[in-house]
Amino acid sequence: MSQSFNPLSASSSRLPPLKALRVFAVAAQLESFKLAAEQLFVTQAAVSQQIRLLEEHLGQKLFIRLNREVRLTPSGQLLLPYALQAFDLLDKGVTRLMDDPNPQHLVISCLPSFAGRWLVPRLGAFQRQHPDLSISINPKITLETFDSGDVDVAVRFGLGQYPDLQAEFLLDDYLLPVCSPKLLEQYDLGQPNLGDMPILADNALDQEEVWQAFTKKAGLTKGIHSVLLITDATMLVDAILSGQGLSLVRFSLAYQLIESGQLVCPLPYYWLSDYAYYLVAPEHHFKRPKLQQLQTWILEEVKEVEQSWTRIKQALLLDFECCQPERSALLSDHSS
């Protein structure tokens, strides 16, 4: 295709409005203003007005008006193939822009904790269902902007409000105080300040109010003096498993460890997180078959977390209290 057209050149100012050209192309092909109006879902008067504006702009008649039809003038016959070619090129350009440049490769951006503790261990099942699809995981704590065009979709833990992006809900989550069972042999949680059991704090934004509520609920008169401050939820879970202390953990990252008895919930309360998991991408990405396949699969997979919550709540947390602290209006997307 020629690259000679310059939208800033003087000649480009002679171009008529695109809307008028589109109406002209449709009416010329149908040889009827009435049929053109029906196809364009406008009134016949609106078609006539656009044609009149185009003729005035060009200073030439494009149609011969007859009783029940219209015919192109020589000027109209000259213009029509160029108009059709221009719209065809525009259609091809927009289609190419909207199409998936790599239909056999899926790039997922997500939090390192979600990737390591939940997504990656399950991806083998997804790939067995779609063996022709290769997958790349891009773990990152910052929000994906999709500006590079390399990422197909992001899995985010947040409020679901992402400007200029579509967010599809996946899963709610809960925060529970958990520790290794061997710690309960060393510390008496019935004593003041939980018997001075070590606390491992997570400084994620979505947990600030919960930690404050936890401090009051647990009767920690000394406040939270974390022996280890961790910003990555995966490392936090590893530290808890190794018996280094008690911490608040997202249920989605620890439910299998709780069900297996590797972690225990020693205090009778939990919190429903304001945050939830979402699939996030530009709206047109959700039309890509590979993303639709991922969405269908992941919605089925997260049911396991929901079912586990039901089982654990009935077996272990039935008498536990669901606590909700005062919520800040400054919450933003989670970063760990």
Q: Are residues 92 and 177 both part of a single domain? A: no
Query: Is 264 inside any structural domain?
Result: yes
Residues 93, 191, single domain; the answer is no
Domain assignment present for residue 243? The answer is yes
211-240 residue pLDDT tens: 888 888 888 877 666 667 777 888 899 999
Is the per-residue pLDDT at 1 higher than 60?
no
Separation CA 270–CA 115 (nearest Å) = 24
Q: For the residues 73-101, what does the mean pLDDT come to?
A: 85
Q: What is the CATH number of the domain that holds 53?
A: 1.10.10.10
pTM of the model: 0.70
Q: 88-92, 227-231, 241-245: which range is least confident on average?
A: 227-231
Q: Are residues 181 and 77 in the same domain?
A: no
Distance between the two ends of the chain, CA-based, in angstroms? 47
- Residue 291 is assigned to a structural domain of this protein: no
Q: Mean pLDDT over residues 1-5, rounded? A: 50
Residue 280 forms part of a structural domain = no
pLDDT value at position 40? 95
Are residues 318 and 193 both part of a single domain?
A: yes
| pLDDT 10s digits, 140-168 | 888 888 887 789 999 999 999 999 999 99
Residue 187 shares a structural domain with residue 80:
no
**What HEC string does the chain produce?**
CCCCCCCCCHHHHHCCCHHHHHHHHHHHHHCCHHHHHHHHCCCHHHHHHHHHHHHHHHCCCCEEECCCCEEECHHHHHHHHHHHHHHHHHHHHHHHHHCCCCCCEEEEEECHHHHHHHHHHHHHHHHHHCCCCEEEEEECCCCCCCCCCCCCEEEEEECCCCCCCEEEEEEEEEEEEEECHHHHHCCCCCCHHHHHCCEEEECCHHHHHHHHHHHHHCCCCCCCCCCEEECCHHHHHHHHHCCCCEEEEEHHHHHHHHHCCCCECCCCEEEEEEEEEEEEECHHHHHCHHHHHHHHHHHHHCHHHHHHHHHHHHHCCCCCEECCCCCCCCCCCCCC
What value, to the nearest 5°, has the Cα angle with vertex 285 and ends 111 and 167?
A: 55
Residue 109 maps to a domain: no
For residues 116 and 111, give the distance between their C-alpha atoms in angstroms, rounded to a whole number: 9
Q: Domain check: are 216 and 314 in the same one? A: yes
Mean pLDDT computed over every residue of the chain: 86
Residues 85 and 211 occupy one common structural domain = no
Q: Is residue 2 scored above 50 in pLDDT?
A: no
Identify the domain boundary among 47, 73, 98.
98
Whether 62 and 186 share a structural domain: no
**One domain for residues 208 and 317:** yes
Percentage above 70 pLDDT, the chain = 88
How many angstroms separate the CA atoms of 99 and 63, rounded? 37
| pLDDT of 165 | 94
How far CA 286 is from CA of 160, 268, 289, in Å, comes to: 16, 41, 8
199 and 314 part of one domain = yes
Distance of alpha carbon 214 from the chain centroid? 31
- Residue ending a domain, among 67, 98, 129, is 98
pLDDT score at 207: 77
Asked if residue 277 has pLDDT above 80, the reply is yes
- Looking at the structure, do residues 187 and 318 belong to the same domain, yes or no? yes
- pLDDT at residue 24 tops 50: yes
What pLDDT does 130 receive?
Answer: 95
- Using the predicted structure, report yes or no on whether residue 21 has a pLDDT greater than 80: yes
Residue 107, domain member (yes or no): no
pLDDT at 238: 93
Report the CATH number at residue 263: 3.40.190.10
Residue 98 has pLDDT above 70, yes or no: no
pLDDT at 330 over 50: no
Asked if the model's pLDDT at residue 327 lies above 50, the reply is no
Report yes or no on 335 lying in a domain.
no
Domain around 210? 173-273+308-322
Domain boundary among the residues 32, 67, 98 is at: 98
Q: Report pLDDT for 280.
A: 96
Is 47 part of a structural domain of the chain? yes
**What is the C-alpha separation between 178 and 267, in angstroms, rounded?**
8
Residues 41-84 pLDDT 10s: 999 999 999 999 999 999 999 999 988 889 999 999 999 999 99
Q: How many CA atoms lie within 13 A of 103 on its CB side?
A: 7
Dihedral sign (CA 281, 284, 290, 294)? positive
Q: Pick the more confident residue, 5 or 94.
A: 94
Answer whether residue 302 shows pLDDT above 70: yes
Q: For the segment 181-202, what is each residue's pLDDT rounded down to a tens digit?
A: 999 989 888 888 888 888 888 7
Query: What mean pLDDT do residues 317-334 have?
Result: 60
According to DSSP, the residues that pair with 110 across neighbouring strands are 139, 155
